[in-house]
C-alpha cells in the first residue's frame, strides 16, 4: 500500500476548500466533508482514493435547513452543440436500451473513430472538450463517438428491469451499441477505444469480441484506472462517499461544487458535462439530484476491476495507459511495463478526471497514439507489435 494511500485513509474530515476567488462570500460548507488529501492529483475530497469514480448516492437523511444559494452565473451550463456534430438516440433492442450517443464523424470514409466510454456516475459529455480537441488536431481525419451507458445520462431502458450493472452486462451493451452504429465490419471505420475508470474495464473486455468479428481496431486506451489500486480502495468507499452533498439548489451550484472541490479542475468542461449527471426533481429537497444512484451498484464494483490488468495486457492491439500518478501501478502492470507491453503516460497537474482537467494534453497523447498505430494497422506491422 503506498504512502499516499495510507495518507488518504487517515485523512480527517474537514471543510471543503473555498470557492474560486471572485469577491463573493461563500456559504459555510457542512462539517462532514473530507478535506484535500495529500499527493498529486487524486481528484475531489470525497473521492481521492477511489478510482471506481466519484459520484455515489448516500443514504437518505433529513434535509438540511439552509438558505437557498443564488446561482453563480460563472458556473452556468454550456451547450454541448459546439463540441459534437450530433447528439443521437440509438435504439438497441437486443439490450433493451435507447442509447444516447454524441458523435462527430471522421471526414474521410476510411478514417478512424475514437469510441469513448465514461466512468461510473458520469456521461458521454465528460469527453466533450477532449472530442473537440481531437477533431481539430486531426482536421477531422479522426472522429469521436462518446456514449451514455445504461442508467447514465440520457440513455434509457426499454425493459422494466435494468438493475444489473455487472461487467458482463456493460460489455454486452457496449458491444451491441458498436454493432448497431457500425453493423458491417468491412465498411466500418477503424476504431480506437478510450475508456475512463469503469469504462476502461468495459473497452478492454469488448476489444477481443470485436476483433473476432473482424472489426479493425487501432488500439485501446485506459484512463486512470488500475486493478490493484481500485480493489484495495473498495472497502473504504461508503464512508468516503458519504461526504458528498445530497443534492444542490441549482445546476450552477452543482457545477460550482465539482470545480471548487477539484472533482473537475476545468470549469469549462464541468459546465458542459455536469448537467448530464444531475436531474431536476420537482418537490425534492434539494431539487437538483444525482441522476445515477450508484450506491445501488455496489454488488458489482468488484466485477468492474477484477481481471482488468490481465484483459488489458492480453488485448491483441496497441495498448495505452494514461495516469494521473505513477503510484497507481499494480504488480502485473509494472511487469508488463518493464516488458514493453504497453505505452504509459503520466499527466502532471490533473486529478482522476484527467480528460476533463486537461483535454488538450489528453487529445495530444491520443492523436499521437492514433497516428502511430494507424500506420501499423495499414500494413507496416501487425497491430500490437510495437
Hey, which residues are catalytic here? 197, 224, 352
For the record, the C-alpha cell of 261 comes out as 472541490
DSSP letter (8 states) at residue 193: E
Q: How far apart are CA 127 and CA 272, in angstroms?
A: 10
Q: How far apart are CA 332 and CA 328, in angstroms?
A: 12
Q: Nearest 5°: phi and psi at 189?
A: -70, 165
For β-strands 288-290 and 278-280, DSSP reports them as antiparallel
Residue with cell 470485436: 210
Nearest to 116 by CA among 129, 75, 108: 129
Residues 6 or more apart in contact with residue 348 via CB below 8 angstroms: 40, 41
Residue with cell 437523511: 61
For the record, the C-alpha cell of 198 comes out as 469503469
Residues 6 or more apart in contact with residue 190 via CB below 8 angstroms: 110, 111, 112, 113, 216, 217, 218, 374, 377
Amino acid at each position: 500500500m503506498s504512502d499516499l494511500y495510507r495518507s488518504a485513509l487517515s485523512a480527517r474530515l474537514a471543510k471543503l476548500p473555498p470557492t474560486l476567488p471572485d469577491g463573493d462570500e461563500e456559504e459555510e460548507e457542512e462539517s462532514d466533508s473530507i478535506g484535500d488529501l495529500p499527493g498529486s492529483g487524486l481528484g475531489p475530497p470525497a473521492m481521492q482514493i477511489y478510482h471506481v469514480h466519484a459520484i455515489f448516492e448516500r443514504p437518505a437523511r433529513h434535509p438540511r435547513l439552509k438558505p437557498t444559494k443564488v446561482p453563480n452565473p460563472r458556473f452556468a451550463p454550456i451547450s454541448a452543440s459546439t463540441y459534437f456534430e450530433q447528439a443521437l438516440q440509438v435504439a438497441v433492442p437486443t439490450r433493451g436500451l435507447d442509447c444516447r450517443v454524441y458523435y462527430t464523424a471522421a471526414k474521410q470514409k476510411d478514417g478512424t473513430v475514437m469510441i469513448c466510454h465514461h466512468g461510473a456516475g458520469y456521461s458521454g459529455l465528460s469527453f466533450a472538450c477532449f472530442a473537440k480537441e481531437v477533431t481539430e488536431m486531426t482536421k477531422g481525419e479522426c472522429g469521436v463517438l462518446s456514449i451514455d451507458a445504461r442508467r447514465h445520462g440520457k440513455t434509457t431502458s426499454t425493459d422494466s428491469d435494468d438493475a444489473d450493472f455487472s461487467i458482463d452486462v456493460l460489455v454486452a451493451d457496449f458491444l451491441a451499441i458498436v454493432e448497431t452504429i457500425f453493423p458491417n465490419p468491412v465498411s466500418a471505420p477503424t476504431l480506437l477505444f478510450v475508456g475512463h475508470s469503469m469504462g476502461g474495464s468495459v473497452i478492454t473486455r469488448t476489444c477481443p469480441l470485436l476483433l473476432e468479428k473482424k472489426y479493425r481496431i487501432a488500439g485501446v486506451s485506459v484512463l486512470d484506472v488500475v486493478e490493484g489500486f481500485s480493489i484495495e480502495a473498495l472497502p473504504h468507499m461508503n464512508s468516503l462517499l458519504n461526504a458528498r452533498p445530497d443534492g444542490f439548489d441549482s445546476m450552477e451550484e452543482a457545477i460550482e461544487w465539482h470545480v471548487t472541490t477539484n472533482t473537475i479542475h476545468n470549469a469549462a468542461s464541468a459546465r458542459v458535462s455536469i448537467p448530464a449527471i444531475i436531474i431536476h426533481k420537482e418537490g425534492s429537497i434539494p431539487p437538483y439530484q444525482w441522476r445515477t444512484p450508484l450506491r445501488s451498484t455496489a454488488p458489482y464494483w468488484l466485477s468492474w476491476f477484477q481481471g482488468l490488468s490481465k484483459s488489458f495486457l492480453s488485448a491483441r492491439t496497441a495498448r495505452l495507459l494514461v495516469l494521473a500518478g505513477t503510484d497507481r501501478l499494480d504488480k502485473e502492470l509494472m511487469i508488463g511495463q518493464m516488458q514493453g507491453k504497453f505505452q504509459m503516460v503520466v499527466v502532471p497537474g490533473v486529478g482522476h478526471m484527467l480528460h476533463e482537467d486537461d483535454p488538450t494534453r489528453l487529445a495530444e497523447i491520443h492523436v499521437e497514439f492514433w497516428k502511430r498505430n494507424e500506420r501499423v494497422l495499414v500494413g507496416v506491422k501487425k497491430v500490437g507489435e510495437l
